[in-house]
Amino acid sequence: MPSRLPKTDISVIIPTYQRPLQLAGALRALARQRYPNDEFEVIVVNDGGAESLKSVLQPFERDLQLRLLCQPNAGPGAGRNTGAAQARGALIAFLDDDCEPAPDWLRTLKSAAEAAPGCLLGGRTIAGFPEVSCLVASQMIQGIVYDFYNAQPASARFFASNNMAVPADLFRSLCGFDGEFRIAAEDRDFCERWRLAGRRMLYVPGAVVNHCNRLTLTGFLRQHFRYGRGAAQFHRKRSRRASSPLRSHVAMYLPWHKWLLRPWREASGSLAARLQLLLLLWQVANTAGFVYGLIFDVGRNVRSANKEQ
């Protein structure tokens, strides 16, 4: 088990692709952290974007220890691996480019890491634009997922990679995220492998990140279609390594009346009705993506493997 964290050793890694305005918001929030700016670094990984991003980073160079890395487009999981390979910190914190952490985010993660050394930590993500129904619905879905997988915070099972922290040595010992997950679910796979290695996960709801994405209906459907495709890939790998029974994942959907009525517990009137409709569309888009993933993505991978043999 690693020793308690020394000072000045947190690396925040942000993969980004063609979203300079959102990235600037994330950097602005990091510059406002209630944490000494000489005790953490920020590594931005440009995942094949056309823009150099130097002009985006320049205004924050006085307030942050910033580094910019570039890679050919390979997906956010591969981008996080690229950043982790260059990270100097003993603790690595992952953040998405459209996420703005609360001012005490790093302090909370550091305290949790010191109190529970060797744990994979996951924070809480909330809608940064509460007036955007699709964003609120998307975060409500994450809440449903977290309520299921993390019902016992000290024995959590899943964290999204937009708000996650992990000891760098243990992250590297598992070879980081699986680069085959280019679309989604690299975090599900990593959490599963982490637990399979006998390591513990701890939910830290006080480590809050604001998801600042003005998600449209088209974007919402596309997002959850991608998540469905990623789920198909995840379950193929889970089945091959027999790491967890399928029923332990499917059980989340069985109490359908609970998640379908959730909007009426957390909102009211027309907003609750819109959120309920969006939850139904979530299931449609997610199922469509899952079927697509099984038929096309998984089939394509099998055919490629057969050709290589």
Could you tell me the CATH number of the domain that includes residue 132?
3.90.550.10
The whole-number pLDDT of residue 299 equals 60
The tally of domains found in the chain comes to 1
pLDDT tens per residue across span 19-67: 999 999 999 999 999 999 889 999 999 998 888 898 999 999 999 999 9
For residue 298, what pLDDT band results from cuts at 50, 70 and 90?
low
Please indicate, yes or no, if residue 181 is contained in any of the structural domains.
yes
Q: Is the pTM of this model over 0.85?
A: yes
Q: Of the candidates 195, 199, 134, 190, which has an alpha carbon nearest to the alpha carbon of residue 164?
A: 190
Please indicate, yes or no, if residue 265 is contained in any of the structural domains.
no
pLDDT tens per residue across span 61-88: 999 999 999 999 999 999 999 999 999 9
pLDDT tens per residue across span 129-153: 999 999 999 999 999 999 999 989 8
Please indicate, yes or no, if residue 98 is contained in any of the structural domains.
yes
Contact 151, 232 (CB under 8 A): no
Residue that has been written with the tokens 């160079």 in this structure = 61
For residue 168, what pLDDT band results from cuts at 50, 70 and 90?
very high
The whole-number pLDDT of residue 301 equals 56
The answer, yes or no, to whether residue 6 has pLDDT greater than 60, is no
The answer, yes or no, to whether residue 273 has pLDDT greater than 90, is yes
Q: Which residue has the higher pLDDT, 241 or 277?
A: 277
Please indicate, yes or no, if residue 46 is contained in any of the structural domains.
yes
DSSP state of 254: S
The answer, yes or no, to whether residue 3 has pLDDT greater than 60, is no
Please indicate, yes or no, if residue 130 is contained in any of the structural domains.
yes
| Cβ neighbourhood burial of 8 (10 Å; 0-12, 13-18, 19+) | middle
Please indicate, yes or no, if residue 170 is contained in any of the structural domains.
yes
Domain extent, residue 68, equals 10-214
* Mean pLDDT within 156-170: 96
Please indicate, yes or no, if residue 107 is contained in any of the structural domains.
yes
The whole-number pLDDT of residue 244 equals 75
Question: What sign does the CA torsion over 154, 155, 160, 162 have?
Answer: positive
Half-sphere exposure at residue 285, Cβ-oriented, CA atoms within 13 angstroms: 19
Please indicate, yes or no, if residue 187 is contained in any of the structural domains.
yes
The whole-number pLDDT of residue 75 equals 93
pLDDT tens per residue across span 194-240: 999 999 999 999 999 999 999 999 999 999 999 999 999 998 988 88
CA distance 197 to 192: 9
